[in-house]
Amino acid sequence: MLKEDERILVDGTQKIGIKLNKNQIETFSLYLDLLIEWSQKINLTSLKTPQEIIIKHFLDSLTCIKAIDLYSNIDKNSIVDIGTGAGFPGIPIKIVCPSIELFLLEARKKKSIFLEKLIKELNLKQVQILKGRAETFGRCTEHREKYDIAISRAVAPLNILSEYCLPLVRVRGLFIAQKGRSYKLETEKGIKAIQFLGGELIKVEKIQIPFINQNRYLLIINKKRNTPLEYPRKEGLPQKRPLYF
Ligand code: SAM
């Protein structure tokens, strides 16, 4: 990582209240290199420059940490990142909070191969890759209602995403959806689906990403009750026939 890129990473994390140590900076640097290298072979990110990747992937992912910490002591949790793609937001969170147990759920095989290589190269412990669709894992007793926190960024509108995520969260756990400007409309359309699936929206945290004039919103949803057994529906159905009341 060039000195000026490192400065953006270090200053940016400080702006969101995180102080990185030398080892964590080196880990982010390696992540950046691998992401750029593999993006030439498979579709991992549309962002081209190191600065863009640092700000819009690394820092954006890390903005979740403080917010999660307000609702649940993040260090003691198992977190499943649904539709993680190239590891966002899960891997940056894991680099900063090494004691979490992280599960990276991803449907696309090529991306899972990248994730396998990544966790090996970054020497990350207690990280598992769940290869397949969220609907499949949500219907499987080994995974259903087992995770303390489900988190997801840029995967699906809230009413669809809730059917992917809430079945995997244990009762009294959290589901955190990282959203952009569309959050209001998505919330209006998705609030009943959330309730139906056992959740309750408790807070919308407005987040500022360092260095860019864009807000993000973290929708903090509590799992209050068990999800009805018929949900999630079979693969593809949540997207084809989204829950809408
Ligand atoms: N979360 C990452 C990020 O913010 O950079 C990736 C976002 S990418 C636009 C959406 C990812 O979600 C893709 O990698 C896709 O394969 C995955 N995905 C979409 N629907 C899924 C499902 N039902 N189960 C598992 N993965 C899914």
Q: Residue 19 domain-assigned?
A: no
Provide the CATH number for the domain around residue 194.
3.40.50.150
Q: Residue 190 domain-assigned?
A: yes
List of E strands, the chain: 78-82, 101-106, 127-131, 147-153, 169-179, 199-208, 215-223
What is the tally of structural domains in the chain? Answer: 1
Is the CB–ligand 1 distance for residue 138 below 6 Å? no
Give the range of the structural domain holding residue 124, as residue numbers without chain letter. Answer: 64-240
Q: What is the pLDDT of residues 31-67, one digit of tens each?
A: 999 999 999 999 999 898 999 999 999 999 999 998 8
Q: Is the pLDDT of residue 131 over 80?
A: yes
Q: Residue 13 domain-assigned?
A: no
What's the mean per-residue pLDDT of the chain? Answer: 96
Q: Residue 168 domain-assigned?
A: yes
Q: Residue 55 domain-assigned?
A: no
- State what percent of residues in the chain have pLDDT above 70: 100
Q: Residue 204 domain-assigned?
A: yes
Per-residue model confidence (pLDDT) at position 68: 86
Is the CB–ligand 1 distance for residue 155 below 6 Å? yes
Q: Residue 205 domain-assigned?
A: yes
What's the CA gap between 97 and 182, in Å, rounded?
Answer: 29
What's the CA gap between 203 and 145, in Å, rounded?
Answer: 22
Of all protein residues, whose CA lies closest to atom 24 belonging to ligand 1?
Answer: 133
Is the CB–ligand 1 distance for residue 167 below 6 Å? no
Q: Residue 172 domain-assigned?
A: yes
Per-residue model confidence (pLDDT) at position 58: 98
